[in-house]
Amino acid sequence: MENIKLLELLKHQDENLEALLKTVLHKQKAIVSNDITEIESTTSEEEKLLLAVNQAEKLRAELLNDFYKKNSVKSNSFKLDDYLLIVGEQLDIQQRAEILNLQRKIKETTKEIIKVNQQNKYIIIQARTLLNEIVSAIFSERNNSLLDRKV
């Protein structure tokens, strides 16, 4: 029973992470095109998906904890590899393969999300640096402020 729930939870988590990857890629396009409305929209969607991912992780930890309690297993680990070692032969080959496949997909998607987020951070840093250089160049050439401070 726990195995079926775990598989459903992992599938749901995989779907959430795939949606998050699409969102961060969309956000990257919005950042590059300087579309503020899209940046705000994708950021909002990203926050919702992150909450869903966090909730699924909590549920996974609770599910594994309940399994450990029911089976009198002393384990503080909520890693799938540790769960598979503990379950051992109780799990049929198909379920084990499906869990391992979902684990692999989740890890790959997570790595891709991290990579895109690092790229987004780099793009933003470069844009800020460029803006600072432009502002510095404008002020240093004219030796006066762009804004008229007289009231």
* CATH number assigned to the domain comprising residue 72: 1.20.58
Q: What angle is formed at CA 113 by the lines to CA 110 and CA 115, rounded to 5 degrees?
A: 110
Residue 126, domain member (yes or no): yes
Question: Is residue 111 a contact partner of residue 21, using CB atoms and an 8 Å limit?
Answer: no
Residue 18, domain member (yes or no): yes
Domain ranges, residue 102: 2-142
Q: Which residue has the tokens 């379920």?
A: 95
Question: Is residue 10 a contact partner of residue 103, using CB atoms and an 8 Å limit?
Answer: yes
Q: How many CA atoms lie within 13 A of 135 on its CB side?
A: 8
Q: In this structure, what DSSP letter does residue 143 have?
A: S
φ, ψ for residue 120 (rounded to 5)?
-60, -45
pLDDT of residue 140: 74
pLDDT of residue 148: 53
Residue 151, domain member (yes or no): no
Strand segments (E) across the chain: none
Kindly state the tokens that stand for 116.
């895109």
Residue 29, domain member (yes or no): yes
Residue 114, domain member (yes or no): yes
Residue 149, domain member (yes or no): no
Residue 117, domain member (yes or no): yes
pLDDT of residue 28: 95
pLDDT of residue 9: 95
pLDDT of residue 103: 95
Question: Is residue 113 a contact partner of residue 18, using CB atoms and an 8 Å limit?
Answer: no
pLDDT of residue 138: 77
pTM of the model: 0.82
Nearest CA to 20 out of 47, 55, 59, 57 is that of 47
Low pLDDT (below 50) residues in the chain:
none
Question: Is residue 20 a contact partner of residue 110, using CB atoms and an 8 Å limit?
Answer: no
Domain count within the chain: 1
pLDDT of residue 143: 56
pLDDT of residue 101: 96
Question: Is residue 60 a contact partner of residue 9, using CB atoms and an 8 Å limit?
Answer: yes
Residue 148, domain member (yes or no): no
